[in-house]
Each structure stands twice: as C-alpha cells, then as structure tokens.
Homo-oligomer: A and B are copies of this chain.
C-alpha cells in the first residue's frame, strides 16, 4: 500500500468520523476582496488574476495581486484579493476593520450587496470607488449536499456550532451554505476567531435545533 493510498484512507476515516460527530474544521478568514471583471481591469489593466495558492474551497485561490483599502478614517495596505473574479466587487472585513476604516459594519450574507458600505480600493496609481461593496460576512459553513444529508441540515438554515477553542463558544446564527463544489468548513472572521481563541486545526460541532431548544 503506497503513501497516497494510506493518506486517502486516513482522510476518508476522518471524514466519516466528522460526519458521525457533526464535527467540522473551523477556519478564520482575514479581510479580503473579490473583484468584478471591470474593477480588476480598472486596477490592474487586465481581467486575469495571478494565482498564488489554492484555498480550502475548490477553485478558489489567493492571487498575487494585493490592494489597499481606504476608508474615511483609516486604511489597510496589501489586502488579499481572492480569485476567481466575480460578477460584483465584494470586500469582506471584520467589525474591528470597519471601525478602523471609519465605515459602518454592515452584517450581510456573502453575495447580498444591497446597502453595503462604500470604500476606495487602490492599486499603485489606480483608485476605484467601490460603492456598496464592504460587508462583515455572516459566519457560515460550506458543505456538499451529501454533508448536509449526513449533518441533517439544509441550505440557508442557521445552526449553532460549539467551537472548541482556547475559550469555548457556541456560535449561534451560523448560516449553512450547500453546494456540490464546496468542502466542509466553517468560516469565521478574526473577531470571532479571537473571541473563541482559535488555534490551528480547531474543530466545531453542530448542535442540532432540538438540542438548542433544550439549552
């Protein structure tokens, strides 16, 4: 049996155990930008991003391009741009970031860009005003339809997840997002990661609706 085969087996066992225990890996998302084709063209003079490394969600990547975010009160340099390009530009920040930038911390589900905050995005000698682009993304879990069946949850549902960090928290209002292309992961921002004292390989466990009502 070669190394690849052993790795595959180990991963499969872990995956099955995760489902049994309703466990899932929790990752912290730093501030980042998704750009539209038009905005990428404006900033970089091309509508193609250069991948630097792959992210946990299949097809998603960190690009070599970095941009500056500028608000009325503050700014952040060299902020990650994630690929591939999207239909609309979306800037994801934490509440702490919103305060530093001096823009309202608008809590939104990713993709819902109505009434988001405005800010400027700068790359070298180019600057665009990204109107209604900046949000604090709601914490969420990516999963496949198969995961959803095993975990007994549905797309769009909100669940409670107990996360076993340095100072334990049960996050409620965690949005379930189901897509065949997703990999099972819970995503929280750095405020949330710090609140729970998230370390590497920190796991969470979905607490079912029935169990929550008892609590």
Contacts and interface: CB of A to CB of B under 8 A. Distances in A.
Interface of A: 94-96, 105, 107, 138-139, 160, 162, 166-173, 188, 190-192, 194-197, 207, 211-212, 214-215
Contact of A211 (B95, B139, B166, B215): B215
Contacts of A211: 214-215
Contacts of A162: 172, 215
Given A96-B194, A194-B96, A195-B192, A172 B173 contact: no
Contact of A191 (B96, B105, B107): B96
Nearest to A168: B172
B172 A107 contact: no
A169 B190 CA distance: 15
Nearest to A196: B195
Contacts of A196: 195
A181 to B, nearest CB: 26
Given A96-B190, A207-B215, A215-B211, A169 B169 contact: yes
Nearest to A192: B195
A196 to B, nearest CB: 8
A170 B167 contact: no
A194 to B, nearest CB: 4
A36 B215 CA distance: 43
